[in-house]
Amino acid sequence: MPGLIARIDDIADALGATATRLHAMAQHRAQLDTAFGNIEGAVALWDGEERLVMANRRLHELFGLPPEAIVAGMRFRTFIDLAIEHGHLEGPGPEDVYTRRCALVRRGKALTFDIALTSGRVVQVSYHPQESGGWLATYEDVTERQRAQAQVAFLAHHDPLTRLANRVLFHLKLGEVLARVGDVAVLYLDLDRFKEVNDTLGHTIGDTLLRFAATRLGNCFRQSDTVARLGGDEFAVILSPGTRDVAVAAAQHAIDILGRPFDVEGHEITVGTSIGIAVAPQQGKDSETLLRHADMALYAAKADGRGTFCVFEQIMNDRLLARHALEGDLRTAIAKNELRLFYQPLVNTRTGIVSGFEALMRWHHPQRGLIAPADFIPVAEATRLIVPLGTWSIRQACIDLARLPTHLRMAVNLSPVQFRNKELVRTVRDALTASGIPAGRLELEVTESTLMKDVDSAVAILDELRSLGVRIAMDDFGTGYSSLSYLRHFPFDKIKIDKSFVDDIGQRRGADAIIRAVTGIADSLGIETVAEGVESPEQYQRVVQEGCDQVQGYLFSRAVGVAALPDVIRRIDGNGVSGRHGRPRHDGPPFPSGVLRQKP
Ligand code: C2E
Ligand code: CA
Ligand code: CA
């Protein structure tokens, strides 16, 4: 029966095929098992009847279930119940969770969502619907990843040291409140003596101090305000709502709070703060402008003497613009040689003749004419342009002095900024060499502010200069806080008594007594004295009476160009009372008053 045999063969074939298929299926299953087992996260395959086809070990680990609880064929609902029973699935209740999950699955689209476990961990769940009607679920513990992302997001918007908002977040928030609220004010704060603390006590203490200051600041404003650290020792606060009155009160409060001493690792530190205020919308409608204006007001507050606040005014902006313009012009001026040195004589009160000159800078501006140093030296100092300018003035003054009679000296002013430049001593030495004048004819004038910053290093430089043989004079004596104390630090050759004391003669009680005291001290220390700014014969008479060795002032001459020097010397010396010995303490001016009227 060939037909039967054929059928048997067919059956055998079919059975063989089935066996092969079954074998293939078993192999497939084993492969799936291996694959499932090796998957990093938890995986579960559910069929169209919501029964578990297979799952890997990570599934019960992740949900903290006993391993035997997860078995093939278990219902999805049972799995939900188990997970909730073990307290690992947050949710309103098993029924609700089950219904919502089923609804998600039935959408038939792949989707991913996060669930929070009561342990605080976060699990990311993905459902991948299968053609069979079931779905493949993967579960991944994303707690660490989310924490790291949150940390990155936090750091993008916060300062790691103080945990306050950073500049980026400050501008975002300010932009946001400006769009929402009408009255917004910005405070810009800067700790007054922070750099000193950092320099003397070290960065660790500096950092702790910043954190303490940040905490105080954080506690001193309202919930609706934002405190930010913009960098270094600079902080800013958004006051919203913030009228001018609110801002002023808040600034005063912050000054009080930050003015109290801090205890940092056993050091009692008092820093204090200065604050600039800008109020929207009058003083700026966008965050950049408001902060810039608050910064300008801060600058003004610091100029007012620290520990205070200033509210922005338009004039501050105008001044800054003018300063920028001046700075640009000044750079051009240096390149184009528009700067000149003028010379003002110093007259010996004993002989009545010129003993030397002080070099004073002038700027011959092509449009604005002669500009006085008070208008450009501060800009030159702020921009450090004073360094090349100062170098030039030392060289030029020496060159001009070389052409004057050898008994005359030349005084050149030094800015504190030049003291922070290592080249100063070399500059002076080179100027002496280039001009060939003996060092003793050059006198360098320094003010108290040169010594104030860092006495030791300033004195070290003065010692070096002195060792070259140049003389050192203390300028504007009596205007600072501790002029007298600086006399102990350095043996000055000359003291220039400030013009303000000469002005006070005959106006204010005690002016003469102060001058007398200074010349007395100077005499006993072997230091020469000069009275600055002598304008009238009366003033001259008094300063001579009080013992000043030299005078300088409009009474004799203003500062003049180098070409006019021979005339000035001839005029003053020609009228001088030469050959006299001892001080003419009770004498009148050394030349007839007729000459005195010919002020240049
Ligand atoms: P200073 O060193 O105290 O110079 C004396 C100033 O008083 C000069 O002003 C001088 O013209 C002025 N003066 C002299 N006698 C009289 C007087 O009888 N009455 C009045 N009202 N003023 C008198 P100037 O030239 O305008 O210089 C101002 C300041 O600018 C100087 O004060 C000095 O601090 C600074 N300065 C000038 N030239 C230079 C320079 O080359 N380098 C540096 N670093 N500073 C300079
Ligand atoms: Ca001077
Ligand atoms: Ca002076």
pLDDT digits (tens, 9 = 90+) for 517-551: 999 999 999 999 999 999 999 999 999 999 999 99
Q: Is the pLDDT of residue 585 over 80?
A: no
The C-alpha atoms of residue 402 and residue 389 are separated, in whole angstroms, by 20
The answer to whether the CB of 275 falls within 8 A of the CB of 254 is: yes
Which run of H or of E encompasses 401? Answer: helix 386-401
The C-alpha atoms of residue 59 and residue 563 are separated, in whole angstroms, by 98
pLDDT score of 86: 83
CA of 474 to the centre of ligand 2 (A): 8
Cα 316–321–326 angle (5° rounding)?
120
What is the bridge-based pairing of β-strands 354-365 and 339-348?
A: antiparallel
Rounded to a whole number, what is the largest CA-CA distance in the chain? Answer: 162
In ligand 1, which atom is closest to the CA atom of 360? 38
Average pLDDT along the chain? 90
In ligand 1, which atom is closest to the CA atom of 373? 30
CA of 360 to the centre of ligand 1 (A): 6
What is the bridge-based pairing of β-strands 442-446 and 409-413?
A: parallel
Nearest bound ligand to the CA of residue 476 = 3
Probe target for ligand 1 pocket from 340, 343, 360, 393, with the most ligand atoms within 8 Å of CB: 360
In ligand 1, which atom is closest to the CA atom of 381? 44
The C-alpha atoms of residue 385 and residue 593 are separated, in whole angstroms, by 43
CA of 584 to the centre of ligand 1 (A): 27
HSE of 339, CA atoms in CB hemisphere, 13 A:
26
CA of 600 to the centre of ligand 3 (A): 20
Per-residue pLDDT, averaged over 21-47, amounts to 80
CA of 259 to the centre of ligand 3 (A): 35
Q: Is the pLDDT of residue 599 over 50?
A: no
Dihedral-angle region of residue 337 (phi above 0 means left; psi in -120 to 50 means alpha; beta otherwise): left
Cis peptide before 281 (omega within 30 of 0): yes
Q: What is the DSSP letter of 68?
A: G
Q: Is the pLDDT of residue 254 over 70?
A: yes
Length of the chain: 600
**In Å, how far from its chain's centre is CA 206?**
14
Which run of H or of E encompasses 235? Answer: strand 234-239
CA of 371 to the centre of ligand 1 (A): 12
Which of 20-34, 49-63, 210-224 has the weakest average pLDDT? 20-34
Task: Please name the residue whose Cα sits nearest to atom 27 of ligand 1.
Answer: 373
Q: Which residues line ligand 1 (CB under 6 A)?
A: 344, 359-361, 372-374, 377, 390, 393, 413-415, 445, 475-476, 533-535, 552-554, 559
Nearest bound ligand to the CA of residue 552 = 1
Q: What is the pLDDT of residues 147-206, one digit of tens each?
A: 999 999 999 999 999 999 999 999 999 999 999 988 999 999 999 989 989 888 999 999
Q: Is the pLDDT of residue 25 over 80?
A: no
Task: Please name the residue whose Cα sits nearest to atom 44 of ligand 1.
Answer: 415
Task: Please name the residue whose Cα sits nearest to atom 16 of ligand 1.
Answer: 533
Classified as helix, coil or strand, 412 is strand
Q: Which residues of 547-572 are buried (b: 16+ CB within 10 A; e: fewer)?
A: bbbbbbbebbbebbebeebeebbebb
**Long-range contact list for 88-94, CB < 8 A, 24+ apart?**
88/63, 88/64, 88/117, 88/118, 88/119, 89/63, 89/115, 89/117, 89/118, 90/115, 90/116, 90/117, 90/118
For the purposes of burial, counting CB atoms within 10 Å of the CB of 336, is it exposed (0-12), middle (13-18) or buried (19 or more)? exposed
Q: Provide the residues around ligand 2 (an ion) whose CB is within 5 A.
A: 413, 445, 475
pLDDT score of 6: 60
| Higher pLDDT among residues 575 and 425, named by residue | 425
Q: Which of 452, 325, 338 is nearest to 389 (CA)?
A: 338
pLDDT score of 514: 92
Q: Is the pLDDT of residue 588 over 70?
A: no
In ligand 1, which atom is closest to the CA atom of 447? 34
Q: What is the DSSP letter of 439?
A: G
The answer to whether the CB of 233 falls within 8 A of the CB of 191 is: yes
Q: Which of 448, 444, 529 is nearest to 494 (CA)?
A: 529
Q: What is the pLDDT of residues 428-442, one digit of tens each?
A: 999 999 999 999 999
pLDDT score of 507: 85
Beta strand spans in 493-537 (E): 494-497, 528-531
Per-residue pLDDT, averaged over 235-246, amounts to 96
pLDDT score of 1: 52
pLDDT confidence tier of residue 596, bands split at 50, 70 and 90: very low
Probe target for ligand 1 pocket from 330, 347, 413, 551, with the most ligand atoms within 8 Å of CB: 413
As a whole-number percent, the residues of the chain with pLDDT over 70 amount to 94
Q: What is the pLDDT of residues 354-403, one digit of tens each?
A: 999 999 999 999 888 899 999 999 999 988 999 999 999 999 999 999 99
* DSSP per-residue codes, 48-106: TTSBEEEE-HHHHHHHT--GGG--TT-BHHHHHHHHHHTT-S-SS-HHHHHHHHHHHHH
